Structure 1
Amino acid sequence: MNPDRPLDGVTSIKLKLGVLVGASVVATVLVAAIGDGAGVPWWASLPVTAGAAVGVTQWLARGMTSPLRAMTDAARRMAVGDYGQRVTATSSDEVGQLARSFNAMAAELAGADLERRRLIATVSHELRTPLTAQRALLENLADGVTDPDPDTLRAALAQSERLSTLVGDLLDLSRIDAGVAPLALAPVRVAGLLAASVEEAGVSGRPVRLLHRVEPADLTVAADPARLAQLVANLTDNAVRHSPPYGEVRLEARREGEDRWVLEVSDDGPGIAAEDAERVFERFGTGSDSAGGTGLGLAIVRWVCELHGGRVEVVPSGGGACFRVTLPVAPSTERPVHLRELPTAARRPAPRPTTPTEETPMSTATPVPAPPATTPVGPYGGGSGPIETSLARIWPEPDRRPRIGVVGAAAGIGLLASLTWPYRGIGLATSLVMVATGVLMWAVARHRRDPWTVGGAVVALLLASVATVRDAGGVVTLSVLAGVAVAAAALTRAHGLLAIVSSWAAWPLSALRGLPLLGRTITATSRVSVLWPVLRTVAFSLLVLVVFGGLFATGDAVFGSWASALVPDLGWDTIVLRGFLFVLVTGVALTGAYLALNPPAADLVAVPPSRRTRPVWEWAVPVGVVVLLFGGFLLAQATVMWGGDAYLRRTTGLTHAEYVHQGFGQLTVATAFTVLVMALTLRVASRESARDRLVVRVLLGALGVFTLAVVASALYRMSLYQDAFGYTVLRVFVDGFELWLGLVVLMLLGAVMGLSWRWVPRAVLVSGAAFTLGFAAMNPDAWVAGQNIDRYEATGKVDTLYLSSLSADAAPVIAERLPREMAACVVSSPADLEVFDRRATDDVLGWNLGRARAEDALAGLGARPADCGAYLTDTYQR
């Protein structure tokens, strides 16, 4: 099996697709089952499983699509005149048949191109000789060097006749190329036709004897008189030119059967070799150039024969050449002959089927120059030129060099993660891997000196450090996602809203876009003579070590104790977990490096500008409806404020606490939607006239002010709810998110007043990153714990079950401010036991500031009480 084209032996494209889908499903299920059995978390198992499916699909599909890419590239080169292109046709399916047909078509076009160039050379040569002679003769006459006697005039006439013959041949060729030539049939006496042809050929002055004979003497046929005379004249002229001095040219016509007649024209010349018997009928196929001629005469003979429904061939003879023409006595007038029935190259037999490993040969009878060596299309499409598509316009790939160093560095980062992450909490190792990935991206970034890219790198570095400072999983996850978003937007230098969103999508899409680069790099490493032998040696040595070491360790207790001291636990679950992490982190680092090395033109992703001027009412009416709805909502809020709890209970049946809790989520969503409405209106609204600009400012200004009032209302509702039922990390985050939305609305109001919002998307991204850093800096778990303890000190009630679910970041506050027994039960609850048991295995790479401070707080609390049931309640948390 060819590893580059594993499905070449399958004879149907449908069956290949079925095999591809089946293999992808099997790979997906197998990898997912292995990860699930080893306890790999979903966030590591899902990307690796998807990557395995994509890898199997890519491996199987590359041989299916590479002929199509090769044909696309070859067709593009042929369009600019390079007809030497051929594609590899090794598959047995429909694509392989198409590739072989493409090669046959390319050979035909190469032959046609060669004949076109021959036409230019032949016509130039044939025109230059008589024109030069005629010009010299006319100059002599004009200068008085030569007298205008009959011999001189006859010489001038001969040169003019030669030019006329050439022009006539070219006109006949143009009629052939026109596609269809009608027949004008009339009775033709063959004897008179031959006699006229012999008489015409006799005036050429060559010392050749011409004989003609017709049997029966009164043979009369139906034919196009002009075409038939042209046929006989061309054959006779060809025989005369090739006959030696004082040779003999014979024209013989006879009846053959009831409906056919034959004309044979023979001479005493050198004859025609068997291998040239078909080539002499090609256009410009002159055989030997020593006798002169344009190379069109015999091609026209074949055309006239086929026009009449006959044929012409070279027949063996004792000496010289002999042409035999077989024509019907009464040809049909309903048989037009198209150009495709008169090929420019010799007629070829149907191509024989090739085996799956055989290259289709270029079979042309004309001596076409050898095609230039084409760059083989590799399994990942290497060698194909830039494709003029929307993807290539937005995401070009100008640098196609392999990147062995980048792939090696990404593999090193993946190895670091696989060795340091398992069985350690979020900490220093997590930040080190993220920083190493960022350094790799920075090292290969195309725009690393751009101020926006530099600023994004600094912010991403700060966000990566959160994993070392905070233990809260939600805070770390938010920081990582924000860092990825900032890094992607910085690498692509995106400005617009859609451009920034597209830059976020470009990171995972780089896993597909970068596959050709990965393929070229792997191919390049195969040319390093030492690398792969070393890798094979290391892999085989590890295999031997594992197999024999395991056997000896289980077979001898002393050797087993030595092995346990030297070798870490490498159980099946551990190996699988580390393998999944290696693949995941290597893939993330590779895709990030590709995004930095080859960033897409994200700013080209934008809503296309309107081709027409929109009337004001087309956008003002829906925006006005939104403004009225906001106004009605604020009126309802004022009514509740003035009417008090009694009015609220009488109208809705809800308490004030239930009322404020009910609407907070909807208000947050409404605020987010308002941001989209304002951004879209700024995009589509016409601002050509002063009136248009005034309407934009009034409507969007009112909408922005009303939205800020809604933000204030939402924050007021959440404040009342938190006073009644306490604080949670989620509620604090939503408060911050609502504040950030209010800031975004203020930015949009500034854009409305200035009628320019190009700066807004970047400002929104930066403010979001700042919000994330601020959220991590405030230590939300500790802050929430402190607020709930404040309420406990004021009311004596606290939700200790919720406090026990907080991360290690809250432990110092809990240990310091709650009573010792209660604090010991809270921070040593089952929800935290796993964290702190895991802390016992942490080393320098697993160090985390939040867990380190929690460890110190635990040490000061002493032993956990035997009965903590009285201390763990869920008071006031809803």
Structure 2
Amino acid sequence: MTGTAADRAQPLRSLRSLKVKLGLLVALSATVSAVVASAGRWGGVPWWLGVPVTVLLALALTQLLAVGMIAPLRAMTTAAGRMATGDYDVRVEAASRDEVGRLAVAFNTMARDLATVDRQRRELVANVSHELRTPLAALCALLENLVDGVGPRDPRTLEVALGQAERLSGLVADLLDLARVDAGRAPLRPEPVAVRALLEEAVAEARVQQRAVHHTVRVEPPDLEVQADPVRLHQLVANLLDNASRHSPPDGQVLLHAARAHDAVDQWVLEVSDQGPGVARADREHAFEPFGTLGATDAGGGTGLGLAIARWVSDLHGGAIGFADPHGAQGARVRVRWPVHPPPRPAGPPTTALVPHRSEPTVPTTPHTPPPPAAAPTGPRPAPPGPPVPPRPLLDDVFGRAWPDDGVAARPRLLLAVLGVALLAAVVLPLRQLGSGTALVLLTCGAVLLAATPRRREPAVLAGAGLAAALTLTAVVRDAEWVVVLCLLAGAAVCVTTLTGARGTAAHVLSLVAWPVAALRGLPWVGRTLVAVPGVGRGAAFVRTLLFSGVLLVVFVALFASADALLARWVDAVVPDLTLDTAVLRAFVACAVAGTLLTATYLALNPPRLEGREGAATSVAHRFEWLAPVLVVLGVFSAFLAAQAAVVFGGETYLARTTGLTYAEYVHQGFGQLTVATALTLLVVATAARKAPRETAADRWWLRGTLGLLCLLTLVVVASALYRMGLYEQAYGLTRLRLLVAFFEGWLGLVVLAVLAAGVRWRGAWLPRFAVLAGAAALLVLAALNPDARIAERNLERYAETGKVDWTYLQGLSDDAAPVLADPPEGLDAAEVRCLLGDLQDYGTAPDDWLEWNLGRARAAATWLDVGDTAGPDCAGVSAGDALDPTRALSSSLR
């Protein structure tokens, strides 16, 4: 992520305190919620629309402001897991400036240092193995020759063997010195040291090696005295002299120059120069690593650890070491810069194993130029860092394996389509009744979802989309809102279960829950998509251009519309009413539609894993554990059927004598209970089929026999319930609630028949989906039957037969009933019915535009134009003797 992208992703990035960020986040969220809620109340937005939109906006604002606040912590958790497996090249994005951002910077520093140490450790092991192998192989070969009698056993051979053993001993000693320094166990005992005496002593020891080089010592001032550990200082000088002697040509000159630093009175400089081939600039820093560029393999005779030990000694004294440009055309010049009084070593374990060692900077100098001051510490070339570790999304920990995100790809086109539908809904839906505009918006939503799902070509998805579209079109055909709302809800359920591919009962229930939950689960995807939208990446320029364009559009349209009447009419036809109160309502509608469609779109792109949530079926150990409860239910059903037979054969006299109820009261009393009993029976059948064992033929026979008999008795109960409803409707008339419950009971009977069919071959996986689709189809059939017209017709027929009807209830029916009320069934005088109903001019109010067009209202308007207003003063009091429906208050709630 670039710096610009990081700035976009973290709006609160510039704040340096996490507490301030959290406080600002809470304050802004609360303020936005209060402002939005107040605007909704002022604009007359209903609570069922205002509350979800307020919560949605507060959640979106929280996500916008909080994004990136804890992302480095999640990234560090992921990176730490990778580091535990040995991957030290991980890095985390450290864009914020608060405590979390500083922790991310420290984490990256630690990761870089660990990568460097790990690389050095691997190189050290490889190089030590290589260096030990050469003298060991030579020594073993020599000893084998001596044992086998192949080689001569003379002093010369033994001298060669001793040389190889001494080389091994020197290598091990050097390694132990490095280990002691690295472990903090190398003692540092500073004391006054005469520099000239120490250098001359080291030169004298170097001359013993009989190398053909000349040594020159220069000390300024001659009596220079410093505080240092003489043993360690001698070790450093000896290693530098050994390295310079081995790389110098025969009769070459090695110069040791010690002097006080020209730029600091409390520092002194030691330089060791030779006339050898020198060291390339690219290799100067690596020469101080164990077995570096100037190892034994280059000139022979060394262990490859001399310069590394020199660097460790320099670090112990608080100094710096490095290569400087030679005085002449060739050669090497090592410069050591030390404090005259070295600082005391800190107690506790040293940190030299975790941080790069300090070295003298490599800069060009001349003999007449004083050496430059020590630069910032440098060290081994760090390993190239890997790409920043993306943080593990927080919601992945919440939803786990049930709903993984798996990095769902950003879909800017889908987001733009959702925003377009939201804008269309804001223009079409407010201040209009359900009609063609509602169907247009919902069908457009369905098209977006169909384009989003990768399963769009599957037959099941196409069938579900067709059924949902048919249910949506009821808004165009019917004016009865209760039917239209039920059909739209059923269409939404079909749409969601189709998108998730639900099959089992639990999967269908979880699908309905997953839709609102997707508002939270889909937030990371919405964020990724917003960043990917063309133009959003330009930030302020995009917003500025959008605002300027909008202002210019409004100004010039207003000017030209006020100057031309025809253009003004066109603008009025295209632009909706944008007064302040309606603008608030339209904004709420747009937010609600956008949020609802976005969650459904994410559900289509990444449906949760719902199948298998029911868990594995575990059978009971004994047959009686499931059979006894089922037999109890069968006994109760048998008793009910016996009571029904007694009523049929005993007649109303027997019923009145035994219960004191009329037949109408008797049938009304039991319909609701029978409906509940039918639903519970399906639950008993499902539980028994899940728990009953099927290993033996006897188990399967008992299961099929008892559950089949229970289903057959349930069908008898369904028939009894529908028969009771018919009798009750004849006694008190048909209402919306009674018609809806009758359809519900019929749907339950259809599901029972499906259960019987599934039990024949023990194939019931299709039952939940069949039940959902059958219920949606039943609502579609109910809408096709024009229920309000059917209710009006049945009540008028009852009026013709009994002279009883609830005229107030009929007046509350929708425009779908207008043709029947204006032209009643045979046997009734149309003018009298219209007179008894009162004024019919409330039916068929003409819609404002084609977006509100509805077939039911259009037919009612045509009917009103045909019959006119026939109500007169002689109609007063006609409803005084009407029979009131005892359940009118209950049924009126569905109007």
Shared fold per TM-score greater than 0.5: yes
Aligned to 1:216: none
Point out the more displaced range, 15-24 or 568-577: 15-24
Aligned to 1:525: 534
Identity of aligned residues (%): 43
Question: Which amino acid in 2 is paired with 1:526?
Answer: G
Conserved? CA contact 2:170–2:303, under 8 Å: no
AA aligned to 1:455 is A
**Aligned pair partner of 1:587 in 563, 588, 595:** 595
Is the partner of 1:863 in helix, strand or coil? coil
Q: How does 1:220-299 map to 2 (within 5 A)?
A: 238=239, 241-242=242-243, 244=245, 284=290, 289=295
- 1:441 is aligned to 2:454: no
Aligned counterparts of 2:653 and 2:308: Cα–Cα separation in 1: 108
User: For residue 30 of structure 1, what is the aligned residue in structure 2?
Assistant: 35
The verdict on how the C-alpha distance between 1:9 and 1:232 changes in structure 2, with shifts beyond 3 A counting, is closer
Letter in 2 for 1:862: G
Query: Aligned-pair distance for 1:799?
Result: 0.9
Equivalent in 371, 388, 405 of residue 374 of structure 1: 388
Which of 635, 649, 654 aligns to 2:639? It is: 635
The match for 1:413 among 418, 421, 428 is 421
TM-superposed CA distance for 1:803, in Å, is 1.2
CA 1:537–1:198 in structure 2 vs 1: closer, same or farther (change >3 Å)?
closer
2:433 matched residue in structure 1: 425
User: How far did 1:486 drift?
Assistant: 1.7
Q: Could you tell me how far apart the structure 1 residues matched to 2:706 and 2:170 are?
A: 84
Q: CA separation in 1, counterparts of 2:98 and 2:537? A: 35
1:316-355 paired onto structure 2 within 5 Å: 343-346=353-356
Shift of 1:446: 0.3
Residue 510 of structure 1 contacts residue 591 of structure 1 at CA under 8 Å; is this kept in 2?
Answer: yes
* 1:535 matches 2:546: yes
The residue that corresponds to 2:723 in the other structure is: 716
Query: In the alignment, which residue of structure 2 is the partner of 1:852?
Result: 858
The 1-side partners of 2:272 and 2:575 are apart by 96
Distance 1:544 1:366, change over 3 A: farther
Distance 2:624 2:205 in 1: 90
Q: Write the deviation string for residues 455-488 of structure 1: whole angstroms up to 9, x where unpaired.
A: 1122122112211111111211121122222222
> For the residues of structure 2 that align with 1:363 and 1:810, how far apart are their CA atoms?
91
Matched with 1:359 is none
Secondary structure of 2:599's counterpart equals helix
Contact kept, 8 Å, 1:801 with 1:826, in 2: the verdict is no
How far did 1:31 drift?
A: 1.9
What is residue 750 of structure 2 aligned with on the other side?
743
Aligned counterpart, 1:782 = 789
Residue 880 (structure 2) pairs with residue 875 (structure 1): no
Q: Aligned equivalents of 2:255 and 2:654: distance in 1?
A: 125
**Contact 2:846 / 2:858 at 8 angstroms: preserved in 1?**
no
One-letter code aligned to 1:374: P
What is the rounded CA distance, in whole Å, between the counterparts of 2:150 and 2:529 in structure 1? Answer: 77
Which residue in the other structure is 2:813 paired with? 806
Contact 1:620-1:699 at 8 Å conserved across structures = no
Answering whether residue 107 of structure 2 is matched by residue 102 of structure 1, we say yes
The number of residue pairs the alignment matches comes to: 794
Distance of aligned partners of 1:565 and 1:314 in 2 relative to their CA distance in 1, 3 Å threshold: closer
Using a 3 Å threshold, how does the CA distance of structure 1 residues 717 and 622 change in structure 2: closer, same or farther? farther
Task: Provide closer, same or farther for how the CA distance between residues 385 and 514 of structure 1 changes in structure 2, counting only shifts above 3 A.
Answer: closer
Conserved 8 A contact 2:74-2:394: no
Q: Give 3-state SS (helix, strand or coil) of 1:63's partner.
A: coil
- Relative to 1, partners in 2 of residues 1:419 and 1:464: Cα closer, same or farther, differing over 3 Å? same
The one-letter code matched in structure 2 to 1:847 is: W
CA offsets 1:320-374 (integer angstroms, 9 cap, x no match):
86999999xxxxxxx9x77x866332489xxxxxxxxxxxxx9984431442453
Q: 1:280 to 1:667 in 2, by over 3 A?
A: same
Distance change (3 Å), C-alpha of 1:48 and 1:542:
farther
Q: Distance in 1 between matches of 2:178 and 2:739?
A: 87
Question: How much does 1:106 deviate?
Answer: 1.9
Structure 1 residues 452 and 234: alpha-carbon distance in aligned structure 2, compared to 1, 3 A threshold: farther
Partner Cα separation in structure 2 for residue 855 and residue 98 of structure 1: 72
What do residues 131-181 of structure 1 show as CA deviations (whole Å, max 9, x unaligned)?
78779989999999987765456445544654576578779999999x999
Paired AA for residue 368 in structure 1 = P
Structure 1 532/144 Cα, relative in aligned 2: closer, same or farther at 3 Å?
A: farther
Match of 1:840 in 2: 846
> Which of these residues, 126, 130, 134, is aligned with residue 131 of structure 2?
126
For residues 470 and 282 of structure 1, the distance between their equivalents in structure 2, rounded to whole angstroms, comes to 89
Q: For residues 661 and 373 of structure 1, do their structure 2 counterparts lie closer, same or farther at Cα, with a shift above 3 Å needed?
A: same
Structure 1 unpaired stretches of 5+: 184-196, 211-227, 251-265, 274-278, 328-334, 349-361
Letter paired with 1:345: V
C-alpha spacing 1:101/1:697, structure 2 compared with 1 (3 Å): farther
Other-structure match for 1:765: 772
Aligned-pair CA distance for 1:125: 4.9
Distance 2:234 2:755 in 1: 89
Query: Deviations along 1:803-855, whole A, 9 cap, x unmatched?
Result: 1111111111111106444544677769x83x74xx42333332211111111
For residues 699 and 122 of structure 1, do their structure 2 counterparts lie closer, same or farther at Cα, with a shift above 3 Å needed?
A: farther
Contact 2:255 2:273 in 1 (8 A): no
Unaligned runs of 5+ in 2: 1-5, 188-201, 216-228, 257-269, 280-284, 323-332, 359-375, 888-895
Counterpart of 1:66? 71
Deviation at 1:797, TM superposition (A): 0.9
**Contact 1:464–1:483 (Cα < 8 Å) also in 2:** yes
Query: Structure 1 residue 737: deviation in Å?
Result: 1.0
- Counterpart of 1:45 (choices 50, 54, 61) is 50
Alignment of 1:156-175 (within 5 A): 158-159=163-164, 162=167
In structure 2, the CA distance between the partners of 1:567 and 1:130, relative to structure 1 (3 Å rule), is: same
Q: Deviations over 1:548-596 (max 9, x none)?
A: 899x89xx99999999799664322222222222233333333333333
User: Is contact 2:93–2:388 with CA below 8 Å preserved after alignment?
Assistant: no
Could you tell me which amino acid in structure 2 is paired with residue 810 of structure 1? A
Q: 1:622 to 1:720 in 2, by over 3 A?
A: farther
Counterpart of 2:866 in structure 1: which amino acid?
A: G
Superposed CA deviations along residues 356-412 of structure 1, whole A, max 9, x for unmatched, are xxxxxx99844314424538x6xxx7xx69997684644445575432322222222
Matched, 1:865 2:865: no
Match of 2:893 in 1: none
Q: Is the 1:47–1:584 Cα contact (8 Å) retained in structure 2?
A: yes
CA-to-partner distance for each residue in 1:649-704, whole Å, 9 max, x for gaps? 66666554444334433433333333334334434444344454445434534443
Checking the alignment, whether the CA contact within 8 Å between 1:87 and 1:99 is kept in structure 2 is: yes
Listed one character per residue, the Cα deviations across residues 465-515 of structure 1 (whole Å, up to 9, x for unaligned) are 211111111211121122222222222322222223333333333333333
Offset, 1:792: 0.8
Aligned residue number for residue 761 of structure 2:
754
CA distance in 1, matches of 2:146, 2:555: 100
Kept in 2, the 8 Å contact 1:11–1:93? The answer is: yes
Structure 2 length-normalised TM: 0.73
C-alpha distance in 2 between matches for 1:696 and 1:505 = 33
In the TM superposition, residue 728 of structure 1 has moved relative to its aligned partner by 0.9
- Structure 1: how far apart are the matches of 2:377 and 2:468? 61
Cα 1:436–1:321 change in 2 (3 A) is closer
How far the C-alpha of 1:719 sits from its partner, in A, is 2.8
Are residues 1:731 and 2:741 paired?
no
